[in-house]
Amino acid sequence: MGTSRNVERRTILKAAGASATALGLAATTGCGGDGGASADGTVTIRYAWWGGEPRAIAIKKTIALFEKKNPKIKVKPEFTDYEAFWEKFQTQASGGNPPDVFQNAVGFLRKYDKRGVLMDLKSQADAGNLNLGAFRNGVLANGQVDGKQVGIPVGANTMSLVVDLKAFQKAGVTPEFGWTWDDYFAALQKIQDRVKIAGDTGYFAIMYLYDLYLRQNGKAFFTESGLGFTEADLTRWWEDGYKRVKAGLVADPKKIEQVKPKSGLSAGLAASEFTWDNFSIRYEGEGDSDYGLAPIPTTDGKHTGQYLGSLMLSAFSGSKHPEEAARFIDFMVHDPEVGEIMGYDRGILATTEQYDAFTPTDKTNKGVRAYEEKVAAEGVLGKITPHPSGADVVEAAFLRIGGEVAQGRTKPADAAKTLFGEAKAAFAG
């Protein structure tokens, strides 16, 4: 500190200045997410979604289109994968700083409605900022909770069986509408015998498939406030599943685990996988075979238990720009050009304007359209299962505990008991 041991006033001032600058910097970066209106009246809203790279590219194009037509509104995109999205969203929402507009799914509606995060978009519709008409097949109801419109569907999707066409052909199996679970498992056996691979990637840990099975039998996975089945039901479902893992009809979970995040179907470990029909596009990109959509097996030879689900757009109840948020959502679900850009990435387009504007030209999108038209024509579509608050946590637990059953680490009866325990805590939370 030089020759003088006395500290000069200047030094103190400098230190104070440096500290203040550092704190000031921290403060400005801390408030970066504010997004208020600027001097020229331009408003910035934040829009967040989850999904892969193709979705991000498409959405950014639609944002550019919106900004061109609405020069006073700027849209700031934020995106991650599904799991990270909800972790981040939960933290942001609890801090009162969620995005103004965000992608949503039916499993999260009640949870965030209960926590006061979701805007009732009816008021914005009444104010003329958002058109609630022109939705196909009644999917608008998917975004309603207790009479409030908390989500606006962007698409409609339904569960399907994605199959490796080459493997099915080699085994001589042709899935048809109305085929039963017995037919399905007999098909898996044929595939094992003739193609020497497992038939399925692990059907019994997929909550939305078990929901369909329950609906075929007059039940459903969820009721308005809890689980719609018994421990004994689930024990039997998982016992059967584990038996099929041991028999080799369902792929070895150790191998499925190792190829993640790739699917066991596209890795060639199994010949089929149950998933939402709009996800079918991933397999073409990931795998070497040809893939197609097959019907859900039934219990009675007719009813698949299916319904139309939806990804939707929601707005934050505390948004500083509710009008702009509503107009943005309106544009995203009704504008024909947006429909053309997005395609069936988030399901068959939800509104007639967008549905008519997009004609699929590639095999996968054509397949999705044909599949949903066929399902609708069969007259098997029912009303969507309710999703109480905590449904998202239960879905994750179902997948995890089902995985333990598959690995042979937990007896089905104990596993069912664990799921019921965790579900109880999730509904209470």
Partner 1 sequence: MTLVKEAPARPAGKRPAAPAAGRRGRRRENLAGYLFMSPWIAGFLLLTAGPMIASLYYAFTSYNLFTPPRWVGLDNFTTMFQDPRWQRSVEVTLKYVVVATPLKLLLALGVALLLAQSRRGQGLYRAAFYLPSLIGASVSVGFVWRALFSDDAIVDRAQRVLGVDVGGWIGNPDYVLYALVALSVWQFGAPMVIFLAGLKQVPRELYEAAEVDGAGALRRFWNITLPMISPVLFFNVLLESIHAFQVFGSAYVVSNTSCGPADATLVYTCYLYQKGFKEAQMGFASAMAWTLVVAVALVTAVLFWSQKKWVHYEEAAK
Query: Where does this chain bind partner 1 (CB under 8 A)?
Result: 5-7, 11-12, 15-16, 18-19, 22-23, 26, 83, 86-87, 90-91, 93-94, 115-117, 252-261, 393, 396, 400, 403-404, 407, 409-410, 418, 425-426, 429
Min separation Cβ 298 and partner 1, Å: 31
Query: Could you give the angle at which helices 207-216 and 231-247 cross, rounded to 10 degrees?
Result: 120
Closer to partner 1 at the Cβ: 144 or 418? 418
Amino acid 216 reads Q
Q: Residue ranges of the alpha helices (H) in 253-362?
A: 253-259, 281-286, 322-334, 336-342, 352-357
Closer to partner 1 at the Cβ: 17 or 138? 17
Closer to partner 1 at the Cβ: 10 or 68? 10
Closer to partner 1 at the Cβ: 116 or 138? 116
Torsion of Cα atoms, 206 then 210 then 213 then 214, to 10° = -170
Min separation Cβ 423 and partner 1, Å: 12
Record the tokens describing residue 124, joined without a space: 């914005």
Identify the helix (H) or strand (E) that includes residue 12. helix 9-30
Min separation Cβ 23 and partner 1, Å: 6
The Cα–Cα gap between 275 and 292 comes to 12
Record the tokens describing residue 308, joined without a space: 């139309």
Min separation Cβ 143 and partner 1, Å: 21
Min separation Cβ 421 and partner 1, Å: 9
Q: Residue ranges of the alpha helices (H) in 73-173?
A: 82-94, 106-114, 122-126, 165-171
Record the tokens describing residue 9, joined without a space: 């006033």
Min separation Cβ 111 and partner 1, Å: 9
Min separation Cβ 402 and partner 1, Å: 10
Closer to partner 1 at the Cβ: 19 or 42? 19
Min separation Cβ 4 and partner 1, Å: 9
The Cα–Cα gap between 160 and 347 comes to 12
3-state secondary structure of 144: strand
Closer to partner 1 at the Cβ: 270 or 341? 270
The Cα–Cα gap between 355 and 105 comes to 20
The Cα–Cα gap between 169 and 141 comes to 39
Closer to partner 1 at the Cβ: 93 or 250? 93
Cα of 384 vs its chain's centroid, Å: 15
Record the tokens describing residue 71, joined without a space: 């020069």
Closer to partner 1 at the Cβ: 205 or 234? 205
Cα separations (Å) of 99 from 17, 46, 62?
35, 5, 18
